Amino acid sequence: MKKFMILLGICMLSSHQVMAEYVITDNLSFSGDFRTGYYTIHRDDRDGSRDVTDEARLRIRLGLKAKFNAQWQAKVRFAGRYSTYESNSNHFEIFSKIPSGDGLRRGDSTLDEFYVRYQPSKQWDLKLGRFQSKIELAGVAKKSLDRNNSPNVDITWTDGLHAIYKMNNGWKGHAIIQRNLSAGSTEVRRSPLDFADNGSRVSYFFALENNEKHHGGIIQRGIDLTYLPKALQTDGNSAGRIDDYLALVGRLSAQWPMAGSMKLMLGSELGYAFDTPTKVAASTGTSGDTGGFAGQFKVSFIDIVPKHSLGIVYGIAEEGWLLSPDIRNNNRLIEVRHLWKIDKKQKFETRLRHREDLHQLTTSQEKREDVDLYLRYTYKF
């Protein structure tokens, strides 16, 4: 806890200094956020051992945006991720590869946005370069089965082109053409997805979404398609079959008023991968293919009292679902989260989560089981 208080103090001091230097003109603006918290994980591991990890984490993001005219603008943003658990190397890497499973290693920093944006009309919005992209299921505990750059205190990004077309009926179309490095994708893509093959250098994402209120209390509708050519090592290694990975996701959320200020929100998101690795590759069996189903189901109580909300999430992903940064493959989770929205710039969240393996690995003595808790504060400016 002492380390956490020190880290929080440094973060608050950094924020004060940034705000003191805050300058804005008609064509130039400065923005950022920091997120810090106390995290603890109690793990019963696959080898029969038990472990408890306590740490303070911090993420800082500082961005500068230039507006050239009504159609053109550009943005660059620095992002760093730090922790009291691992020693901070404090690297600064521009256009760096992703060196770990959930984004930058703790202690690393980079530019997580570096793009030009073109808006020729009210309908079209185009970004080219390095940017953040996400489509989440609405609710107190926002998560995604397929695309969610930089959740929690992680740092990931998308390199490529993002085109958005806004239709007159409230629907928006998304098309993302993404560049992948041979060392790996710049966002979470779980093994045995691999990008060493030259045919995997470019991948594609398409989506239709509507977040306007509809009949029956519906507030969110959407469908996504992810296509990763030559990225799936079906047999778990580069010497075996290399196949395309194709996955479809649909989501739906609805909200209704209740007593006083409270609103009830229900949401679900379902995904299916058409080609999946073998059970041997996933270490969950000796023959056959893994399952490709994933889903999350969410109940949110918004403004139980003003500014305080509660969310409950149940999520599941079979071994062959390899896209979600929020729900691991071969995993089941139950999460309860409390949100205190202090004001437009600040929020405080508490999360309690239980996760466990769906299937015991053939290489392990038992299933892994985690119980984790965080207390997290976010400030935006």
pLDDT tens digits for 189-223?
999 999 999 999 999 999 999 999 999 999 999 99
Please give the Cα distance from 258 to 140 (Å, whole number).
Answer: 16
381 pLDDT band, cuts 50/70/90, is confident
Which has the closest alpha carbon to 268: 226, 314, 327, 320? 314
Residues 327/357, Cβ–Cβ less than 8 Å: no
Residues 242/232, Cβ–Cβ less than 8 Å: yes
107 pLDDT band, cuts 50/70/90, is confident
Between 23 and 141, whose confidence is greater? 141
Please give the Cα distance from 309 to 42 (Å, whole number).
Answer: 26
Check residue 15 and give its pLDDT.
41
Tell me how crowded residue 22 is: count the other CB atoms within 10 A of its CB.
12
Residues 251/137, Cβ–Cβ less than 8 Å: yes
Which has the closest alpha carbon to 87: 3, 180, 196, 175? 3
Check residue 368 and give its pLDDT.
98
Residues 127/108, Cβ–Cβ less than 8 Å: no
Instruction: Report all structural domains of the chain as residue ranges with CATH numbers, in order of start.
Output: 2-380 (2.40.160.10)
Query: pTM of the full predicted structure?
Result: 0.91
325 pLDDT band, cuts 50/70/90, is very high
For residue 105, the one-letter residue type is R
